[in-house]
Amino acid sequence: MADETNETKGHTCANAPCTCPVEKKNEFCGVSCQSTGQTTQIDCDCGHPDCKGDF
Ligand SMILES: [Zn+2]
Ligand SMILES: [Zn+2]
């Protein structure tokens, strides 16, 4: 239920642990996060260097 709207860059990835910025037209930063959309993950496997959810 988080409405994460940033000032200029849209929002962050809908995958909970993922911190990647996502364009408004997209819900996830990539297919990795999109495939986890149905479940809550502890860490993120998107592989983006800026992501802080990857442990
Ligand atoms: Zn991520
Ligand atoms: Zn993501």
pLDDT digits (tens, 9 = 90+) for 1-55: 555 554 555 799 998 899 999 999 999 999 999 987 566 668 899 999 989 987 7
For 12, the 3-state DSSP assignment is strand
Cα separation, 39 vs 24, whole angstroms: 22
| Predicted pLDDT at 41 | 66
Give residues whose Cβ lies within 5 Å of ion ligand 1: 18, 20, 44, 46, 51, 53
Coil vs helix vs strand at 11: strand
Which residue in this structure is represented by tokens 């996060």? 33
Burial 3-16 (b: 16+ CB within 10 A, else e): eeeeeeeebbbbbb
- Nearest ligand to the CA of 43 is 1
Q: In this predicted structure, what is the pLDDT of residue 22? A: 93
- pLDDT at residue 6, as a whole number: 45
Is 0.75 surpassed by the pTM of this model?
A: no
Tokens of 11: 């929002």
Q: How far is the CA of 11 from the centre of ligand 1 (A)?
A: 13
